[in-house]
Structure 1
């Protein structure tokens, strides 16, 4: 029965990612404590598991690489070699190759086509074995360097009327268990006569220390055609080459007429089947699912709530035939409690620890520190903070950029730090914690901070502000310039990052998930980026407001307060309406003008909803307040995705649609 591996790819990817993350964590520990054999054992176990998984799935490049990793790790376990910086670096390279293969499987259903020859050669060199002949496209003379003893055996065999054949065998690319297939071939050949030479050695072949090819010398009574015929019946062989050997003649001297090299028909058919399998896998491109691992207790709770939902549905069906309004009201209250609990339960199912994002940063910091010759201590806390699965997918890239930014241009080189009385080792702190309906993530470094004068000069150069305007800017306003599109304080473009490079992208990415970003910086002390993101993007608390006959929703997390303002107190300053509120100027936004609705006639006393984005505030003028409500956010779809000031829509209880205002684009 053929095994359809398509159905297992999702499981493979999820498991492989988990094992690779474990390998990455342990490698980072091993780098700090190379004498800890328990860490070596753990990496060995992970490599062994990945080898078995990838071999079963037919991902041979991954299986071969992890097998060679096992050999090096086994040598370390038995104290044949010691773990040093070179070994750890090569193991990290192996991790990167495996990670790249898993990403390739996610994107296209197939592992990376790189056979990792250079990495395997590095691993062999660690073991002090000259295995280069296994990797080179070997010539016939190189593949069989016959010593005097072997040649003497061939001579004696020919004197006794026996034949000596050099047999080169190449296994099919689809062969999943190479050593087992080689064992069958050896058994078959030994039934014909005696194998006097093998390249690689029999031990290496048993340990799968070979690619797809191996050579043997066979002494036998059989003729060449008979040997070929018997070998031809073994499956998963791509080609067989048989040369007749005589004393003093290496295989390269044999004439072309004596060579037999045939592509096996059985292999062609298996290749066809493999091609179909590959095609099936490719058809799945992009369909590797997003998964969440859920505690069984949470699922049990979900099941119980659904059961109660069915019970109340039956009860309401019974009550619908009677006129007992009191019982119906009780049933509706009960239903409301169940739906609230159900919402909470589903939310918990969707929640995953932010650790999933944080896990990738220790390795990234380690590589950057080596590249820049800096000493960096990454301190992480709050990894257990849970956020919605969709938020996890979106927050990774902005955090990568901010951390790279801090290491490259925030933290100084060791000599410069010593001049300012700082320790040589710079510190990057990454922490997260819940704050009401939001999660806060902070990225803080103890570097040189933001040079406000440099930011102003660059802003003037780029024509963003005039010299006169620049002189009046506060530090907070200067920091906002960093988030202007294309703004950079770097004198040259860095491959790693630059203070300000791409910060507009970071900001827009965070705002796309209804989050905000703030910056605090102190010269020579450091910089802190504070990101606030909602716990979930699916269901939120909102304030429903009315503009003319239309109902709009404002996310409650963006609202500071609601107040009344006399229209006579509104002043127009350079085209921007403002009002003095609690000793500060508050910009006023007339929603009816932006959204194209009719303004109210009696507009002496205005209802103003004060909203915030980071440290900025604005007052939204609305016609009426309808109250707070829990709403389910629905996407506007790709055709309306570019509409300004709107982030989605929701369906109200009466079936009408209410548009949700995007506060980040309004302020």
Structure 2
């Protein structure tokens, strides 16, 4: 990948202009004999920095001029010479020369070479540093040079910069103030609604000035909408001021990876892509630790030593890729390596040793669910904590930072021998986010849009009772249903007319592959709102991620969906009475790509004494069926990698599963699909839309005999 030198030149110009201003002011202080030791040190450091940064970009004339100034300032700093007026003249000339060179660079960037240095000036600065008095050029020569310069000089004009440096805290204050303005404007929208209500109330009176009120309402509404557009644009522009490219974080990744690889005795190439993508400065600041930890993880746990890679037929040099791309109003950051991948066996062993899971629980989990255990506190598959992988930051802290602090999601994918991939999905900014405001038990509550999949209305009859809890069928998967006010312990108002309706309004929330349908009373609003942080003494509340202000200046809590999902898992009420007949203890494999469906079917079967193992696609199901012996298999049809029809056909080719019960559970209702299911060897075909847990259990019991 070719190095884009332009962005480095632009950065150098900004920094050089700041150093030159510092030099000008410092020399003036020197002239007044008011400069102390630290002021001289600052002048020296400014010249030294200019020399070093210009040398890296091969800006030779700037480097040599700054070097000559550095010599003189060094002699003054060390007390080798005493400051005299001619020293100030030489230093001013040095600053003027550097200013001209930097201005030339700003006009031409890398497209044209810099003019040569002023040889006499550089020699004069060097001689002055040695304590020698320097004579200026002969008057005639100087006059001739000056005349030539006048002839070739461009039209005089003021030099201005297209950038301004501003303190970050001032920028934060501006954005915070703009957020408050946007929030307070919601009150104007409420006034429009109130005005419309008053109009409706007055309409019943014959002599009421309804026409005048209608005109007022229209003008008020148009004025509010116009003002809202202007304020939103102003707020967006203010936010853009704090946006920075990910290069501020990514540019040092290559060097970091090389240094860590060298300390581990590994050969690693680091590829960085998407560093031009912009994020809020606040987001970038909080991303540094998670990204560094993921890179450390890839080097320490993922990439194998050169000898081991060679034995596996891999190139001795491993690859680590740090990439980013924009997906709508989201940014995806990915850390990928081509190492040994994550060992599911090592995760199982660690989970058992630390007593985080029982063997039965692990057997029932899919491969992805087992892999996600690495995000539990204190979990690591490494045999020892090293300087690289330790650092006091575990994968649980990475997940907490991404999910809780940055309102994003974190996912891991890995294949043995082929490497691992960690994906972070983040909003562009936390200052303003899309929020849905709903009402439950008479209370307004908020949800940030990244966790909301959809809103649906369903008749109450559409609810299924599965494993002693409610669920609905939503596009080929079971989704658990809970009343929001019950989940968060809000008292329901007696006689609430909203609860007596024939339909339910469901807010479908989602975190990665897991969904939860929450029954709410109504949708109040949906718009971009400013997120306010909780006070310090309330930040330990995991259920609330922040606050927003409504149009009536009412504070509304934002519910943290990952925590709601965790709470919903604890509310599962699986019957404790299990059938202790000949079916008890039979082993069943459940194959479905929906996490919710797998869990619900698992709860149903375990309630009747079956031992259940899960798989998330046909290929994983086939692999588990070959490793273990199951008494029956339940499978979906539509799945990635391998579908249920193919899985059924492959199982029937095996002697050990030629006569075992296979039940297809799918949302496909066509007769042609039923016939195909029977043709590939299924013993039963159950449509999810008419699912009944008793029917499933009775069917399974009959097939097992």
Shorter-chain-normalised TM-score: which range?
A: 0.5 to 0.7
2:485 counterpart of 1:592: yes
Alpha-carbon distance in structure 2 between the residues aligned to 1:560 and 1:627 = 16
Unaligned runs of 5+ in 1: 1-20, 27-41, 80-174, 188-202, 209-287, 317-321
Match of 1:388 in 2: 280
Match of 2:335 in 1: 443
Does the CA-based 8 Å contact 1:56-1:176 persist in structure 2? Answer: no
Alpha-carbon distance in structure 2 between the residues aligned to 1:464 and 1:593 = 29
Alpha-carbon deviations, 1:99-138, whole Å to 9, x = none? xxxxxxxxxxxxxxxxxxxxxxxxxxxxxxxxxxxxxxxx
Does the CA-based 8 Å contact 2:431-2:531 persist in structure 1? Answer: yes
Does the CA-based 8 Å contact 1:490-1:498 persist in structure 2? Answer: no
Where 2:307 maps in the other structure, the secondary structure is helix
Does the CA-based 8 Å contact 2:452-2:507 persist in structure 1? Answer: yes
Unaligned runs of 5+ in 2: 1-6, 27-35, 61-72, 86-125, 132-165, 193-211, 566-705
Match of 1:648 in 2: 546
Q: Tell me by how many angstroms 1:621 deviates.
A: 2.1
2:222 counterpart of 1:330: yes
Alpha-carbon deviations, 1:294-328, whole Å to 9, x = none? 9xxxx9xx9xx99xx9xx9xxx9xxxxx9752433
1:417 aligned to which of 309, 318, 343: 309
Alpha-carbon distance in structure 1 between the residues aligned to 2:21 and 2:479 = 59
Does the CA-based 8 Å contact 1:375-1:414 persist in structure 2? Answer: yes
Alpha-carbon distance in structure 2 between the residues aligned to 1:351 and 1:289 = 14
1:666 aligned to which of 548, 552, 564: 564
Match of 1:432 in 2: 324
Q: Tell me by how many angstroms 1:456 deviates.
A: 0.8
User: Where do 1:75-90 residues align within 5 Å?
Assistant: none
Where 1:463 maps in the other structure, the secondary structure is coil
Match of 1:109 in 2: none
Alpha-carbon distance in structure 1 between the residues aligned to 2:452 and 2:49 = 58
Alpha-carbon distance in structure 1 between the residues aligned to 2:230 and 2:310 = 61
Alpha-carbon distance in structure 2 between the residues aligned to 1:594 and 1:176 = 71
Does the CA-based 8 Å contact 1:447-1:524 persist in structure 2? Answer: yes
Where 1:183 maps in the other structure, the secondary structure is coil
Alpha-carbon distance in structure 1 between the residues aligned to 2:542 and 2:469 = 19
CA 1:358 to 1:589, structure 2 compared with 1: closer, same or farther past 3 Å?
Answer: farther
Alpha-carbon distance in structure 2 between the residues aligned to 1:416 and 1:59 = 56
Alpha-carbon distance in structure 1 between the residues aligned to 2:342 and 2:391 = 8
2:503 counterpart of 1:602: no
Where 2:450 maps in the other structure, the secondary structure is helix
Does the CA-based 8 Å contact 2:76-2:82 persist in structure 1? Answer: no
CA 1:650 to 1:182, structure 2 compared with 1: closer, same or farther past 3 Å?
Answer: same
Alpha-carbon distance in structure 2 between the residues aligned to 1:291 and 1:177 = 38
Alpha-carbon distance in structure 2 between the residues aligned to 1:567 and 1:446 = 50
Alpha-carbon distance in structure 2 between the residues aligned to 1:417 and 1:499 = 26
CA 1:380 to 1:596, structure 2 compared with 1: closer, same or farther past 3 Å?
Answer: same
CA 1:603 to 1:504, structure 2 compared with 1: closer, same or farther past 3 Å?
Answer: farther
Match of 1:532 in 2: 425
Alpha-carbon distance in structure 2 between the residues aligned to 1:61 and 1:655 = 51
1:379 aligned to which of 265, 271, 282: 271
Alpha-carbon distance in structure 1 between the residues aligned to 2:45 and 2:276 = 36
Q: Tell me by how many angstroms 1:421 deviates.
A: 1.6
Q: Tell me by how many angstroms 1:549 deviates.
A: 1.6
Match of 1:637 in 2: 535
2:256 aligned to which of 364, 368, 371: 364
2:452 counterpart of 1:559: yes
Q: Tell me by how many angstroms 1:408 deviates.
A: 1.2
CA 1:22 to 1:609, structure 2 compared with 1: closer, same or farther past 3 Å?
Answer: same
Alpha-carbon distance in structure 1 between the residues aligned to 2:478 and 2:391 = 31
Number of residue equivalences:
422
Alpha-carbon distance in structure 1 between the residues aligned to 2:37 and 2:339 = 49
Q: Tell me by how many angstroms 1:566 deviates.
A: 5.6
User: Where do 1:96-115 residues align within 5 Å?
Assistant: none
Alpha-carbon distance in structure 1 between the residues aligned to 2:296 and 2:44 = 33
CA 1:428 to 1:327, structure 2 compared with 1: closer, same or farther past 3 Å?
Answer: same
Alpha-carbon distance in structure 1 between the residues aligned to 2:434 and 2:37 = 48
Does the CA-based 8 Å contact 2:460-2:504 persist in structure 1? Answer: yes
User: Where do 1:603-618 residues align within 5 Å?
Assistant: 605-618=503-516
Alpha-carbon distance in structure 1 between the residues aligned to 2:240 and 2:263 = 41
Where 2:500 maps in the other structure, the secondary structure is coil
Where 1:184 maps in the other structure, the secondary structure is coil
Q: Tell me by how many angstroms 1:331 deviates.
A: 2.1
Alpha-carbon distance in structure 1 between the residues aligned to 2:445 and 2:395 = 31
Alpha-carbon distance in structure 2 between the residues aligned to 1:648 and 1:449 = 37
Alpha-carbon deviations, 1:415-447, whole Å to 9, x = none? 111112211111111111111111110111111
Where 1:478 maps in the other structure, the secondary structure is helix
Match of 2:88 in 1: none
Alpha-carbon deviations, 1:565-600, whole Å to 9, x = none? 565634464x87654443323233432123332346
Does the CA-based 8 Å contact 2:37-2:77 persist in structure 1? Answer: no
Does the CA-based 8 Å contact 1:179-1:206 persist in structure 2? Answer: no
2:408 aligned to which of 503, 510, 515: 515
User: Which of 494-503 and 341-350 deviates more?
Assistant: 494-503
Match of 1:542 in 2: 435
Alpha-carbon distance in structure 2 between the residues aligned to 1:177 and 1:576 = 83
Alpha-carbon distance in structure 1 between the residues aligned to 2:40 and 2:293 = 33
TM-score by length of 1: 0.55
User: Where do 1:616-635 residues align within 5 Å?
Assistant: 616-635=514-533
Alpha-carbon distance in structure 2 between the residues aligned to 1:58 and 1:644 = 51
User: Where do 1:285-364 residues align within 5 Å?
Assistant: 289-290=167-168, 324-325=215-216, 326-364=218-256
User: Where do 1:25-40 residues align within 5 Å?
Assistant: none
Q: Tell me by how many angstroms 1:647 deviates.
A: 1.1
Alpha-carbon distance in structure 2 between the residues aligned to 1:410 and 1:292 = 43
CA 1:50 to 1:346, structure 2 compared with 1: closer, same or farther past 3 Å?
Answer: closer
Does the CA-based 8 Å contact 1:613-1:663 persist in structure 2? Answer: yes
CA 1:444 to 1:66, structure 2 compared with 1: closer, same or farther past 3 Å?
Answer: farther
Where 2:375 maps in the other structure, the secondary structure is coil
Match of 1:583 in 2: 476
Q: Tell me by how many angstroms 1:185 deviates.
A: 9.2
TM-score by length of 2: 0.52
